[in-house]
Amino acid sequence: MTRELSSSDAAPGSPTAPTRDGAPTTFASLDPRTGETLAEYPVATAPDVRAAVERARGAARWWDAQGFRGRRDWLLEFKRAIASDGDGLARVISAETGKPHDDALLEVMLAVEHLDWAARNAKKVLRPRRVPSGLVSANQSATLGYKPLGVVGVIGPWNYPVYTPMGSISYALAAGNAIVFKPSELTPGVGKWLEDKWNSLAPTQPVLQVITGLGATGADLCRAGVDKIAFTGSGPTARKVMAVCAETLTPLVAECGGKDAMLVAEDADLDKAVEFAAFGAFGNAGQTCAGVERIYVAEPVYRQFLDKFTAAVERVRPGGSDADTYGPMTLPRQADVVRNHIADALDRGARAVIGGIDSVHDRFVDPVILTDVPESSSAVCEETFGPTVVVNKVRDIEEGIERANATSYGLGASVFTSNRSRGKDIADRLRTGMVSVNSVLGFAGIPSLPFGGIGESGFGRIHGADGLREFSRPKSVTVQKFSAPLNLLTLERSARDMKISAWMLKARHGR
C-alpha cells in the first residue's frame, strides 16, 4: 500500500529538477504573497529517511546518556540560540507563510517559552518516584519512572511552522528522544533554520534532523521505524497517517482541525469580547486551528455585539506588507474552501454583514462576517480555515452551549461573561480539550497546560506534563522489602493463607 501524507494536503511549487521514477527530486518553497521562488529543497527518498532515523537512533543513545541535567543545559543553550536570532527566524516564517513580521515574531516568542518550560520541568515530571504499594503488597517498594521512546518523527504544519511543531519537538527532546522532523512542503526553510541552529551547537550529534519533501516523504517517515509520530494537520490526512502507522503499530499523537466556538453571555464585557473575537477570527488570516470560527451571542446583547464587532472588523486590512493586519492564504487552494463556505451560507439564507463572495481573491481574502447562518451550513459544520466568521444569535447561553457542542470537532473554545465562576461552569460543559474564559487562545501560551482536542480534532496531548509523558514510556519497578505475611505468589499456597485472604476480601471490599 502506498499513501502520500502531507500536513498541508497541498501541491507545492512545480518540480524544478529531473524526476526519479516519475517523482520530483526537488521542490520549490514559494512566497505566498507574490508566488516568488524562495529556495529549492531536495525530496528525501525512502532510503534517505531510513538513514536519518538510523542516525537519530545513535544520537538518541548519546542524548539519553546526558541525563535530565545535561539535556536541560543543552536545551537552554538551544533556546538562547533561537531567541538571540529570533528576528532572523521571524523573517523566514514571514517569507514562507506571508504573515506579517510581528505575528511571526510572536510565534517565535511562544515557541521559546515552551522550549524553556520543557527543559526546566522534565526532571520534575519524569524522574522516578515512589508510589503507594497498597495493603496487599505492603512488602513491596513501588517506583514509577519514565523512559524516552527513542526516536520521534514529527510531521509539521504550515500555518504555525515554528510554534506548533516545537510543541512536539521541545517536549520530546526534553523527555530524552531524538527527532526527525518533516516540515510542511510550504515551509521547509523554517525547519532547516531550526536544524542549522541545533547543528551550530552540537554538529556531531544529530539529535534534531530535518528531512524535506512532499507527501510521500511523510509516509516514508511513518514507515522508517520511529518510535512515535507527532502529526499536525487536517482530519483526512490524519486518517492516512494512522493507516500507515498501523502497518507497524507505530503510536501516534494527532492534533487536527477545529471549529472553535466563542460564547458571549448577556453580562459580557462586549468591548473585550469584540477585541478578542477579531483577533481569534482574523489573526493569521483565520488560519488557526484553535481560532474563532463560530460566535454565539445571547439575544439581549446580540445587536450591540454585532455592531461593535462590525466596526472593529471594518478597520482590518489584509495585504502583503508588515503594516497590514494579516497576510495571504498560505495554502492557495484554501481560498476555494473559504469561497464555498461563504456561498453555501448565503445560499441557505445567511446574511453577509461584512464582505461576501467577492471578498475572496487570488491570494488574499478580505474579512467576512456572516450572520443568521443555518447550523447545517458548511460554514458552521466544517473547518473554514480562513478570515471568515459566523455570528449567530442564541436565546441564552444554554442554547449557545448546545450549539457549540453540536459538532464533530472538539479542540478549543472561549467564553465571555463578567461572572468568572459562571464562566468556569460553562467551560466545564463544553466538549473541547481547552477553554479560555474572557480571552481567546489563552491556553496556547501557558506551557504547563496540555494542548489537544477530542473527536475530529485529534487525540493525545502536547505541552505541559502531559506533553512530556506523551513522548515517554512509563516503567514500573518493584523491590520486595520482606517476605509477604500471606504467601500467595506460589504454586503451593497454604489453606491457612487462603482462608485469611478470603476473609480479608470480604472485610475490606465486600461491605
Query: Which residues carry out catalysis?
Result: 255
CA distance 390 to 377: 10
Q: Which residues of 110-140 are buried (b: 16+ CB within 10 A; e: fewer)?
A: bbbbbbbbbbebbeebbeeeeeeeeeeeeee
Give CA–CA dist 341/211, Å, rounded.
35
Distance from C-alpha of 174 to C-alpha of 462, rounded to nearest angstrom: 12
> Which one-letter amino acid corresponds to residue 319?
G
Distance CA 121, CA 333 (A): 41
Q: How far is CA 427 from the centre of its chain?
A: 20
What are phi and psi for residue 352, nearest 5 degrees?
Answer: -90, 115
Q: How is 304-361 classified by DSSP, letter by letter?
A: HHHHHHHHHHTT--B-SSTTSSB---SSTTHHHHHHHHHHHHHHTT-EEEE--GGGB-
By C-alpha distance, which of 60, 297, 273, 95 is closest to 175?
60
Q: Which three three-digit cell numbers place residue 21?
A: 521514477
Cell 475572496 found at: 360
CA atoms of 290 and 284, how far apart (whole Å) = 12
The string over 197-206, giving b where at least 16 C-beta atoms fall within 10 Å of a residue's C-beta and e elsewhere, is bbbeebeebb
The packing angle between helices 299-313 and 270-282, to 10°, is 50
What does the alpha-carbon distance between residue 324 and residue 347 come to, in Å, rounded to a whole number?
31
Residue 147 has phi, psi (to 5 degrees) of -115, 150
- Residues belonging to the chain: 511
All residues at 6 or more sequence positions from 448 whose CB lies less than 8 Å from its CB, including other chains: 117, 121, 463, 464, 465
Which amino acid is present at 357? I
Q: Which of 166, 224, 215 is nearest to 49 (CA)?
A: 224
Neighbours of 312 (CB within 10 A): 17
Residues 112/83, Cβ–Cβ less than 8 Å: yes
Dihedral of CA atoms 91, 100, 463, 431 in degrees, nearest 10, equals -160
